[in-house]
Amino acid sequence: MPSAMTASGPVDRDRLGPTLPHEHLFINLLRERRGDGLITDERLVTAEVGAFAELGGSTIVDLTSAELTIGAAPDPRSEAAGDTRDPENVLAVARVAKAAGLNVVLGTGHYRDPFLDRDWFDRHDPDQIAEQLVRDLTEGFPGTGIRAGIIGEIGADKWYISAAEERSFRAAARAHRATGAAIYTHAARWPIGLPQLDLLAAEDVAPERIAIGHCDLVEKPGYALEIARRGAYVGIDTIFTANPHEVRRRVALVVELARAGHLDQILLSHDVCVKSQLSAYGGTGYTFLWSAFRDALREAGIDDGEFERITVANPARLLCG
């Protein structure tokens, strides 16, 4: 039976259950979000993800890349080298997973500009960077004994892929070829997911092992369909608002993809990454997808069997191959 690597070890594919494939537990986004871009409260995070578990949720994929983990722990005592996740962050995620009774899959890789250390990238070629990702996936994050289970999220900040970002993508592709781990990208606002697919294809990554993230944030008509037609997973994964217009827009995108024959390529998640998105601070937290958004999908004609395929089968296939 194929399995996914989690913070507590391998979990068989048929035991992953309802899954949120693009989330963050502890994260440091202060470079861009000075007001609420730091989540470090372990008790609060345990309660927030515990609410998902109480609804029947089973697995969360934590796509917090290396640069987003430095200082993102309840007690950040370590000095991360910059080439991987801060070990204190990894250990905190593992404690939350155990306390909440959830499987948590941890991502490895590098985020996007302006978070990337340009000097560090200038001194490392894609093969050197790939070696570090392979280490995280096969041996574990240094100082933790906990292995990554996916590559991501890796991304592009703008409508083009910068030189440092290109090295990150090539490294991710080469780590994928060495391990089989799936790749999950950050591709917000502009249709940059298509060039990302081109770059990964040039590095011999099959599209069915790629998830293009944040397709619901790109307003170009037909963009998500084109991603799906190329064979990749479509991340409708910023479902963090109850705004009626935003809910209707995302529901319509799900329906469009499903009725075009791409139900098995849809990934749904919240991308909780700032305090204001937590339920304790008035946000929708980690449960909105399984409550109001699910109801909206039902009203639009997505039945419970289709919802289960999207939220159980699709993430399991991405994680396990």
Arithmetic mean of pLDDT, 294-311: 98
Report the largest interatomic distance among the alpha carbons of the chain, rounded to a whole angstrom: 53
| DSSP code for 49 | H
In the predicted structure, residue 180 carries a pLDDT above the cut 60: yes
Task: Give the long-range contacts of residues 241-249, CB within 8 A, separation 24 or more.
Answer: 241/284, 242/284, 242/288, 242/292, 247/292, 247/293, 247/296, 248/296, 249/216
Q: What percent of the chain has pLDDT over 70?
A: 98
Q: Is 153 annotated as belonging to a binding site?
A: yes
Arithmetic mean of pLDDT, 147-173: 97
> What's the rounded Cα separation, in Å, for the pair 81 and 91?
16
Q: Is 203 annotated as belonging to a binding site?
A: no
Q: Is 110 annotated as belonging to a binding site?
A: no
Q: Sort strands 19-23 and 183-186 into parallel, antiparallel or unpaired.
A: unpaired
Number of domains in the chain: 1
> What's the rounded Cα separation, in Å, for the pair 76 and 58?
28
Secondary structure (3-state) at 133: helix
pLDDT in tens, 109-158: 999 999 999 999 999 999 999 999 999 999 999 999 999 999 999 999 99
pLDDT in tens, 181-228: 999 999 999 999 999 999 999 999 999 999 999 999 999 999 999 999
> Across-strand partners of 39?
27
Q: Is 214 annotated as belonging to a binding site?
A: yes
pLDDT in tens, 259-282: 999 999 999 999 999 999 999 999
pLDDT at residue 75 in the model: 86
The H or E element spanning position 259 is none
CATH of the domain at 111: 3.20.20.140
Arithmetic mean of pLDDT, 237-255: 98
Q: Which two tokens stand for residue 146?
A: 């906990």
Confidence of residue 247 (pLDDT cuts 50, 70, 90): very high
> What's the rounded Cα separation, in Å, for the pair 194 and 187?
9
Arithmetic mean of pLDDT, 5-17: 97
pLDDT at residue 78 in the model: 65
Q: What percent of the chain has pLDDT over 90?
A: 95
Q: Is 176 annotated as belonging to a binding site?
A: no
Residue 192 CB neighbour total at 10 angstroms: 24
pLDDT at residue 1 in the model: 83
Confidence of residue 76 (pLDDT cuts 50, 70, 90): confident
Structural domain including 152 reads 3-320
Residue linked to tokens 């369909």: 225
In the predicted structure, residue 79 carries a pLDDT above the cut 80: no
**113 vs 77: which has the higher pLDDT:** 113
Q: Is 127 annotated as belonging to a binding site?
A: no
Question: Residue 152: phi, psi to the nearest 5?
Answer: 150, 170
pLDDT at residue 151 in the model: 98
Length of the chain: 321
